[in-house]
Amino acid sequence: MYLSKFARNVFILIRKEDLTSTMSSYLIDQIAGTENITVRPKTEIIEARGSDRLEELVIKDIETGNTTEEKAGALYIFIGAKPFTDWIKMDIIKDSKGFIETGRELKNHDNFSRIWKLERDPYLLETSCAGVFAAGDVRANAMNRVAAAVGEGSMAISFVHKYLAEVK
């Protein structure tokens, strides 16, 4: 929505049939009501081209396999809401989608008492591994807004100091 205020045209390319599985209905309605935004379902970018800047994109129709070359002056990538947490091998509890559980919510998990060894409850942004904190979109039940992530990052610093004070 933000880009539509400045760009002549905004194209949203998605691999799925529509936005309903990945976006709130109020935002889908706003997009549908904005003249210079076009949603292109079942498409993906397979190449970006240009000499010293972006000039064109090669776009593939997922159903037919056909490709088109289209002029482009900018590209913003949002690859979805699946967290990249598979690399975390510690005893950090995640929800079924891979988002990291933090704070009091951890107590709802069966294996929490096996993992958590401290007398106190986890701090708000603390994971099931004492002293390891998570902030922003990677957290389960996060607000998924930049401002929220920034705020949580600031809060995490405070919790780190609190944790370090107890382990002295």
The answer as to whether 42 is a domain residue is: yes
| Residue 127 scores a pLDDT above 80 | yes
- Whether 61 and 107 share a structural domain: no
Is residue 106 within 8 A of residue 122, CB to CB? The reply is yes
Strand ranges, E, within 4-156: 10-13, 37-40, 43-49, 56-61, 67-71
Residues 6+ apart with CB under 8 A from 137: 81, 83, 144, 149
CB atoms within 10 A of CB 152: 21
Across the chain, what does the average pLDDT equal?
Answer: 90
Write the Ramachandran bin of 149: left for phi over 0, alpha for psi from -120 to 50, otherwise beta: alpha
Domains: count for the chain: 2
The mean per-residue pLDDT over the stretch 27-33 comes to: 92
Among the three residues 22, 48, 71, which one is the final residue of a domain in this structure?
Answer: 71
- Whether 7 and 66 share a structural domain: yes
- Whether 65 and 112 share a structural domain: no
Higher-confidence residue of 34 and 137: namely 34
The answer as to whether 79 is a domain residue is: no
The answer as to whether 160 is a domain residue is: yes
CA distance 73 to 38: 16
CA distance 56 to 53: 9
* CATH code of 49's domain: 3.50.50.60
- Whether 112 and 65 share a structural domain: no
The mean per-residue pLDDT over the stretch 121-129 comes to: 95
CA distance 70 to 48: 10
Query: What is the share, in percent, of the chain residues with pLDDT greater than 90?
Result: 62
Is residue 163 within 8 A of residue 126, CB to CB? The reply is yes
The answer as to whether 35 is a domain residue is: yes
Secondary structure letter of residue 122 according to DSSP: P
Give the pairing type, strands 37-40 and 10-13: parallel
- Whether 160 and 111 share a structural domain: yes
The mean per-residue pLDDT over the stretch 38-58 comes to: 93
The answer as to whether 96 is a domain residue is: no
The answer as to whether 76 is a domain residue is: no
The answer as to whether 92 is a domain residue is: no
- Whether 162 and 109 share a structural domain: yes
The answer as to whether 13 is a domain residue is: yes
Secondary structure letter of residue 3 according to DSSP: G
pLDDT in tens, 54-93: 999 999 999 999 999 999 988 887 766 678 888 887 889 9
| Residue 124 scores a pLDDT above 80 | yes
Q: Show the domain range for 126.
A: 103-166
Sign of CA dihedral 92, 95, 100, 102: negative
Strand ranges, E, within the chain: 10-13, 37-40, 43-49, 56-61, 67-71
